[in-house]
């Protein structure tokens, strides 16, 4: 199965470092950042798990839950967690799913047998409170994930959700945002009576909403 943006994130139940987890129950009404790792005791993923753990409070502040997955057993995960804490400086503080049969890896398209027939690829999914997939990233084995980028996209999605706005290249919270091209100038005047900055007829910038 290959998930696409806008699809409903499939439900599943797997064992984890925090006991059995049914995904839709775990997600509840929150955002979820769901990421996979090829296998336990791999160097890049050890640094990633530690980085997400050390910055969990930033995801909590955005009403987002973290959820990891690797193909090895819970017992292996628990041993790996000691290395994660040692390297990253923070104990593993979110569940790490065990997927030895590649059940969820295949369900979510995390398994690319041409890349490696035994392990998952390193994917990231951002899933919204309606359980819709809003971001899919797949990384090569040699490049570690960027937590700042995951947070930046999460901020963009939350800011523009339900608004006719988009965010430009390299956008950061507090930067100007773009009025969607689907909004006419007449309608934009009602939404933004203070006006906007026009770079092109289809590229109109306004200050980001405060909330």
Question: What pLDDT was estimated at residue 113?
Answer: 66
Would residue 7 show up in a list of annotated catalytic residues for this protein?
Answer: no
Question: What pLDDT was estimated at residue 20?
Answer: 98
> How many CB atoms sit inside 10 A of residue 106's CB?
14
| pLDDT tens, position by position, 165-211 | 999 999 999 999 999 999 999 999 999 999 999 999 999 999 999 86
Give per-10-residue mean pLDDT for the chain (211 aa): 89 97 96 92 94 98 97 95 96 96 90 65 92 94 92 98 96 97 95 95 94 65
Q: Confirm if 111 and 101 have CB atoms less than 8 A apart.
A: no
Candidates 9, 45, 159, 178; catalytic one: 45
- β partners of residue 51: none
Q: How far is residue 15's CA from residue 17's CA, in Å, rounded to a whole number?
A: 7
- Domains (range + CATH), the chain: 13-145 (3.40.30.10), 162-206 (3.30.1020.10)
What residue ranges in 21-139 does DSSP mark as E strands?
21-22, 31-37, 64-70, 96-98, 122-127, 133-139
Question: What pLDDT was estimated at residue 111?
Answer: 75
Quote the pTM value. Answer: 0.93
């Amino acid at each position: 199965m290959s998930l696409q943006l806008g699809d409903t994130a499939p439900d599943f139940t797997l064992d984890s470092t925090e006991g059995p987890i049914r995904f839709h129950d775990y997600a509840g009404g929150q955002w979820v950042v769901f990421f996979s790792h090829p296998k336990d005791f791999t160097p890049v993923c050890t640094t990633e798990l530690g980085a997400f753990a050390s910055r969990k409070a930033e995801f909590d502040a955005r009403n987002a839950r973290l959820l990891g997955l690797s193909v090895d057993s819970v017992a292996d995960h628990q041993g790996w967690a000691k290395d994660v804490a040692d390297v990253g400086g923070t104990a593993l503080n979110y569940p790490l799913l065990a997927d030895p049969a590649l059940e969820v890896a295949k369900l979510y398209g995390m398994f690319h047998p041409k890349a490696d027939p035994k392990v998952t690829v390193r994917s990231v999914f951002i899933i919204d409170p309606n359980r819709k997939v809003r971001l899919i990233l797949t990384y090569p084995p040699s490049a570690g994930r960027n937590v700042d980028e995951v947070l930046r996209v999460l901020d963009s999605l939350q800011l523009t959700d339900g608004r006719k706005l988009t965010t430009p290249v390299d956008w950061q919270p507090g930067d100007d945002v773009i009025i969607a091209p689907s909004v006419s100038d007449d309608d934009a005047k009602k939404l933004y009576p203070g006006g906007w900055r026009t770079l092109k007829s289809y590229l109109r910038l306004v200050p980001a909403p405060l909330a």
